[in-house]
Structures are given as C-alpha cells and as structure tokens.
Amino acid sequence: MRRIAFWSPKGGVGKTTLALNFAAAAYYSGHKVLVCDLDPQLSAIDVFNEKRLPFSVVPDMPQVEPNVDFIVYDHAPSIESIPSVDTIVLPMRASILDLKAVNRAFRLIRDKRVIKCINAVDTRRHDERVMAMKLYSEGAHLVKDRSIYVRSLALGETVFQQSVYGARDAQNELKRLLERVIDKQVK
Ligand SMILES: Nc1ncnc2c1ncn2[C@@H]1O[C@H](COP(=O)(O)OP(=O)(O)OP(=O)(O)O)[C@@H](O)[C@H]1O
Ligand SMILES: [Mg+2]
C-alpha cells in the first residue's frame, strides 16, 4: 500500500483538486483507493457527499488499516502537520510568493520523497510560463489551468468522469503524475 500526501504550506493551491483527481487516476487504472480528508474545511468530504465519486473519502485517518492500494491524504494548508507518507505531492502556483513559501517549508520535508506540482499554470502569461518551465526543468510536474477541474468538482466528480473538450488532456496530466508516484517507489 502506498501513502500519498497532498500537502503544502500554502492555501488554495489545488491540494483538494489534485488529491481527488489523483485518486481517480489511480482508481481508473485499476487500483483500490481511499481518500482521507485531513482538512477541517472538509472540502473533499463535501465533494464525496454528492455521491458521484467512484471511491470513498473519509474524514481523518482510518483506525484500521484499509485494504487498498493507495491512501491519498488531502491536507489543510499548514507547516505544522508534516505527513508520515511514502510521497508528498506539493502543489504550488507558478508565483514567486509560492516559491518562497515552499522553499521555506522544504527543510521540514527534506528527508521525504517530494514531487513539486506546479498547478493551474496559465501558459498565456509569460512570467508564469517561464517560471513553470524552469521548475519543470528541475523536475516539477505541471498541471495546466483548466476549467474542467473546477467544473467537475462542482458536479461532485473528477475529470475522469467527463468527456467534454479538455477532459482527456486533464486526465493525461493526472495519469502522468500517477506514473511518477508509482515509478520510483518501493512496492
Ligand atoms: N488545475 C486547475 N485549473 C483550474 N482551476 C483549478 C486547478 N486546480 C485547482 N483549481 C481551483 O483553484 C481553487 C483552489 O483549489 P483547491 O480547493 O483544490 O485548493 P486547496 O489547496 O485544497 O485549498 P485549501 O488550502 O483551502 O484547502 C478551486 O476553486 C479549484 O477549483
Ligand atoms: Mg483543500
């Protein structure tokens, strides 16, 4: 079983969006998945309550170890709760303030496997594109700014449950993130 945390010191960077869509990528690749909502805002639980997700979301850590391939943790924005997991996916925006906040927090997670995920990249904006490409060249994963992420969660679904224009590109971004997470991990 793999434990994957979507964690960031910053708020509003896409932890919940990416955690649920990552879980969907794993689910539709044939894995058993459980999402734990560790944020008192309970946003992932709110989506789950629409009863359209194909996997479960539970509040807090399960008391008994679940029989799943992936536990996906959706964290609150905080530098206090550093998760004990196999991999941290660290979503951030391609902005200088996000980069500074992430760099400041990085010493707290230095000993862990971290995949930086530059989220909601608007490639039409020059500065954002340049920073995203620099971070990409340093090993970060990129997820573009797409309305399908917003729309699907508003429906209580993930991008994997959509067939409209743009859904396939979004699915592929998440599948590539799943491949990276699986890639270097000890089974
Ligand atoms: N790739 C994306 N493209 C477009 N919009 C996005 C993308 N990722 C996230 N969003 C939007 O950005 C907003 C913040 O996302 P989300 O709630 O997932 O962030 P968060 O880090 O979980 O926030 P919090 O710190 O409050 O828990 C939401 O409105 C979401 O729909
Ligand atoms: Mg959240």
Take atom 31 of ligand 1 and give the residue whose Cα is closest: 150
- Choosing from 6, 7, 8, 16 the residue with most ligand 1 atoms within 8 A of its CB, the one to mutate for a pocket test is 16
Query: Is any ligand 1 atom within 6 A of the Cβ of residue 13?
Result: yes
Average pLDDT, the chain: 94
Tens of pLDDT, residues 5-41:
999 999 999 999 999 999 999 999 999 999 999 999 9
Tens of pLDDT, residues 124-145:
999 999 999 999 999 999 999 9
Take atom 10 of ligand 1 and give the residue whose Cα is closest: 14
Cα torsion through 169, 171, 175, 178, rounded to 10: 130
Q: Which residues 6+ apart lie within 8 Å of 65 measured at CB?
A: 1
Domains detected in the chain: 2-179 (3.40.50.300)
For 118-123, which contacts have Cβ atoms below 8 Å and span 24 or more sequence positions? Answer: 118/92, 118/93, 118/94, 118/142, 118/143, 119/13, 119/14, 119/17, 119/18, 119/91, 119/92, 119/93, 119/143, 120/14, 120/93, 120/144, 120/145, 120/149, 121/94, 121/145
Number of other residues whose CB lies within 10 A of the CB of residue 146: 17
Query: Is any ligand 1 atom within 6 A of the Cβ of residue 145?
Result: yes
